[in-house]
Copies of this chain bind each other. A is one copy, B any other.
């Protein structure tokens, strides 16, 4: 083996091998519509884990499992006492998931290790491929379970006691059953850097014909419940000027909420995703509307400003029509800015490998969100067809799969050569 410093610019992954591994993994839990159903801690999750472990061991890695079932496959460094560069994602899927969400990040990290093996390159620092337990949260809440426990966001024992929707079985019991209740403590190790490759799950890269998204941050999210209350009345006999039409107020609110995003730059996002009117009768003026508001922004101050604007919008539309408005914030997930040196490493790797790239923020949560609490972190996005994810028709191009893998490899190597 040589060290990687002299060869970093020549290293490339084997895109065909990565694609073949993705397709082989996608057979485990394959659905008729071409997707994947590999729910966390199910028999098919076990089968996926087993295949991953087999591949890692074949690549010369030492595999360990911690108490929440996270799998770590370690490739030693020249100085194996230095904190590792970690990279991975998750192998579990949504009930109607696709082939790439999660699996791509795990297998791209594996491919990076395979490529280093092929090139006979030894890095200064160890590299750990990681497969996090239950990122989707479809079967057991919460989402990003394994990385969240690893980063200390969730308690281990409480998480092991989480039950599925039926209350029939716990996380701990299922880990035991599938043989992935590891003995290692969860977390507690220094992380030099963490990189995660993922499909974008959005339309930007495809629309702009970019190959690589250099992910600078995960958006912060504020969730609100809002209730607009007016007065039910008969549609026929009630003149317009005496109505207290809750739907009219809520409708104006939706338009204003849309403007709040536009007023906060290209990274602002607002969505009203649920909207229920009462009583919901064709000839009755609606008396109340309940709606949800999802606000996202990568900048915490901007997100706070959006929340203020939302309260002002509720007050304004209610005052216009004589309605009552109630607004409750039910969840806040702060923005997660990624580490500038890790982001630079990704951007540089993208530039060096010649892929068209742009900075981007992640609108969805990822395991990288929790890893950013533990050490320098960044992500690599590649396009997915029509921005569709969490769907069996989720699709990505081999050329993008390969390009993302090469960017991930270079970023990992750059960080893995940083001295202690």
Per-position binary interface string of chain A over residues 219-261, scored 1 when its CB falls under 8 Å from any chain B CB and 0 otherwise: 1010100000000011111111110010110111111001001
B-chain residues with CB within 8 Å of residue A207 when the two chains form the complex: 242
A283 touches B277 (CB 8 A): no
| B269→A273 contact, CB < 8 A | no
B255 to A271, Cβ gap below 8 A?
Answer: no
Tell me the residues in window 175-234 of chain A with beta carbons closer than 8 Å to chain B beta carbons: 200-204, 207, 219, 221, 223, 233-234
**Cβ B234 vs Cβ A363 within 8 A:** yes
Query: 1/0 per position for A360-379, CB-CB distance to B under 8 A?
Result: 00111000000000000000
Asked if A154 CB lies within 8 Å of chain B CBs, one says no
Chain A, residues 258-289, CB within 8 Å of chain B (1/0): the string is 10011000101111111111001111111000
List chain B residues, Cβ under 8 A from A242. Answer: 203-204, 207
Picked from B202, B237, B275, B283, the residue with its CB within 8 Å of the CB of A236 is: B202
- Classify chain A's interface size: 35 or more
Contact (Cβ within 8 A) B282 A234: no
A202 touches B234 (CB 8 A): yes
Q: Do the beta carbons of B283 and A201 come within 8 Å of each other?
A: no
**Measured between alpha carbons, how far is A294 from B235 in the docked complex, in Å?**
7
**Known contacts A252-B251, A255-B251, A282-B223, A236 near B364 by CB under 8 Å:** yes
Say yes or no: is A385 at the interface (Cβ < 8 Å to chain B).
no
A357 within 8 A of B: no
A258 to B204: give the CA distance in the assembly, Å.
36
Q: Are B255 and A283 in contact (CB under 8 A)?
A: no
In the complex, chain B residues whose CB is within 8 Å of the CB of A296: 235-236
Residue A292 is within 8 A (CB to CB) of chain B in the complex = yes
Tell me, yes or no, whether A387 is within 8 Å of chain B by CB: yes
Interchain CB contact under 8 A, B201 and A237 = yes
Contact present for B269 and A239 (CB under 8 Å): yes
Which chain B residue has the least Cβ–Cβ distance from A331?
B282
- Judge if A21 is at the interface, Cβ distance under 8 Å: no
Query: Is B266 within 8 A of A273, CB to CB?
Result: no
Closest to A276 in B: B280
Per the bound structure, the CA–CA distance linking A273 and B280 in Å amounts to: 6
**Chain B residue with the shortest CB-CB distance to A221:** B236
Contact A286 B275 (CB under 8 A): yes
Q: For residue A402, which residues in chain B have a CB less than 8 angstroms away from its CB?
A: none
List of B residues within 8 angstroms of A240 by Cβ: 258, 261-262, 268-270
- Is A358 close to B, CB under 8 A? no
12 contacts between A and B (CB under 8 A): A203-B233, A203-B242, A204-B237, A234-B387, A237-B363, A238-B269, A251-B252, A251-B255, A271-B284, A273-B281, A273-B282, A273-B284
